[in-house]
């Protein structure tokens, strides 16, 4: 009997068997020839997945928050001006983070559930000069998606460095880092990249590396300093041993396998699959009469959904029932509406059958919570979307 509940939170996600097998393999030396080759290949594959052929990849042991910190620590010096575009909790994090490194931070917070208004951003960039502007491609707290192409284009237009938090988007949402002129794209291993938690991943443009080299003083973070890590990344890619801090050997082996799987699937096909899952999920919750935190499908993420609880149903009642029916979902995260919605992840290795099973578990939980609806209507709506794609 299968003794496992389907994990459908917005990270960590379900992982492919070959990725998990790499974690259980005997750990080798971080300077053994076999591992050096694996690490070098992973760095090369990152460029392809991020679509940044001349970008500089970094792989550090840590979380997505470390990846954010790494960008801020290396690109901000005291007195630099930074513009933060926020569509949720993770956008807000940049305000505190950049301020820790001495930035003078201006925040444009957009209404809850709305995406970035780039006309407003352009007006702000016309009015004031900034060194850095940040955005969150998909904010995991709201499931709101931002257009990264417009973001990169504005950065180029105004000569400002762009930092895109792609923790919940890279390898699941459309992204052409170099073509669109985005200077730093950062993510974490445990979401659409498809590797268990523990790796902070960044790809940095040549202009951003040049800006870092022009710093007046070393980065204030010792661990996150590119001065420490750039020679390591260059050495591994050149298939030479090097050392600053011990890398997460098994996780990097798993990363290389997952990146290979992503490229084998094909980036266009993978993004299309995530788009299908997003549409199917939104169709299911609409059929069930549930609102969502994003106010329009056009800026709803394809990697997760954030449906609102129906009247009379609470998360404390519903989520355990959904879990008992076979799927683990996440509660709300945004403090302003935390008790009003829940979140379902559908990214990475998630297939249509996984989503349909999770929606079926949601229907079971809703029915057991006393919500009145036609059983099967959500699953049916999702199936119709999937069948039509």
Same domain for 216 and 245, yes or no, is yes
User: Could you count the other beta carbons within 10 Å of the beta carbon of residue 44?
Assistant: 13
Residue 227: is its pLDDT beyond 90?
Answer: yes
Same domain for 282 and 350, yes or no, is yes
Same domain for 249 and 286, yes or no, is no
CATH number at residue 96: 3.40.640.10
Each residue of 124-179: pLDDT tens digit?
999 999 999 999 999 999 999 999 999 999 999 999 999 999 999 999 999 999 99
User: Could you count the other beta carbons within 10 Å of the beta carbon of residue 10?
Assistant: 27
Out of 204, 234, 265, pick the residue that ends a domain: 265
CA distances to 103, 160, 288, 294 from 99, rounded to whole Å, are: 5, 18, 43, 28
Whose tokens are 């129906």? That residue is: 310
Each residue of 126-137: pLDDT tens digit?
999 999 999 999
Contact 310, 366 (CB under 8 A): yes
Using CA atoms, how far apart are residues 196 and 190, in angstroms rounded to an integer? 5
Using CA atoms, how far apart are residues 149 and 205, in angstroms rounded to an integer? 15
Out of 211, 239, 265, pick the residue that ends a domain: 265
CA distances to 31, 251, 358, 383 from 353, rounded to whole Å, are: 41, 27, 9, 9
User: Could you count the other beta carbons within 10 Å of the beta carbon of residue 150?
Assistant: 16
Strands (E), 236-341: 304-305, 327-328, 330-331
Residue 1 in domain = no
Q: Which of 250, 261, 265, 302 is nearest to 39 (CA)?
A: 250
> Alpha carbon 255 to chain centroid distance?
15
Using CA atoms, how far apart are residues 191 and 250, in angstroms rounded to an integer? 17
The pLDDT assigned to 307 comes to 98
Same domain for 329 and 277, yes or no, is yes
Residue 344 in domain = yes
Same domain for 167 and 289, yes or no, is no
CATH number at residue 375: 3.90.1150.10
Average pLDDT, the chain: 97
Residue ranges making up the domain that contains 323 = 6-11+266-388
Kindly report the backbone phi and psi dihedral angles of residue 347, in degrees, each rounded to the nearest multiple of 5, phi listed first: -145, 170
Contacting residues for 24 by C-beta, under 8 A, at least 6 apart:
250
Residue 1: is its pLDDT beyond 50?
Answer: no
């Amino acid at each position: 009997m299968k003794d496992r509940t389907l994990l459908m939170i917005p990270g960590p996600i379900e992982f492919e068997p070959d990725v998990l097998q790499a974690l259980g393999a005997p750990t080798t030396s971080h300077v053994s020839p076999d591992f050096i080759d694996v690490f070098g290949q992973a760095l090369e594959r990152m460029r392809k997945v991020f679509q940044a052929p001349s970008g500089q990849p970094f792989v550090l042991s840590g979380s997505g928050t470390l990846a954010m910190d790494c960008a801020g620590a290396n690109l901000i010096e005291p007195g630099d001006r930074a513009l933060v575009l926020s569509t949720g909790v993770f956008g807000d994090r940049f305000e505190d983070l950049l301020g820790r490194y001495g930035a003078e931070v201006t925040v444009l917070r957009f209404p809850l559930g709305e995406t970035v208004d780039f006309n407003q951003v352009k007006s702000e960039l016309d009015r004031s000069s900034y060194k850095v502007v940040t955005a969150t491609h998909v904010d995991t707290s709201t499931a709101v998606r931002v257009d990264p192409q417009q973001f990169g284009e504005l950065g180029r237009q105004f000569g400002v460095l762009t930092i895109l938090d792609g923790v919940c988007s890279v390898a699941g949402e459309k992204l052409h880092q170099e073509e669109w002129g985005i200077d730093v794209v950062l993510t974490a291993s445990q979401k659409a990249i498809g590797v268990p938690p523990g790796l902070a991943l960044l790809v940095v443009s040549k202009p951003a590396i040049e800006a870092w080299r022009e710093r007046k003083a070393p980065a204030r973070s010792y661990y996150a300093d590119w001065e420490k890590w750039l020679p390591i990344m260059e050495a591994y890619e050149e298939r030479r041993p090097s050392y600053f801090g011990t890398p997460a050997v098994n996780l990097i082996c798993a990363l290389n396998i997952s990146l290979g799987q992503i490229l084998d699937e094909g980036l266009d096909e993978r993004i299309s699959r995530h788009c299908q899952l997003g549409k199917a999920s939104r169709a299911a919750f609409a059929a069930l009469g549930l609102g969502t935190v994003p106010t329009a499908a056009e800026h709803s993420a394809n990697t997760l959904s954030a449906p609102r609880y129906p009247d009379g149903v609470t998360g404390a009642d519903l989520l355990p029932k959904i879990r008992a029916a076979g799927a683990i979902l996440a509660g709300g995260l945004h403090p302003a509406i935390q008790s009003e919605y829940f979140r379902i992840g559908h990214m990475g290795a998630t297939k249509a059958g996984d989503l349909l099973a999770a929606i079926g578990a949601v229907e079971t939980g809703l029915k057991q919570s006393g919500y009145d609806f036609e059983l099967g209507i959500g699953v049916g709506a999702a199936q119709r979307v999937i069948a039509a794609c």
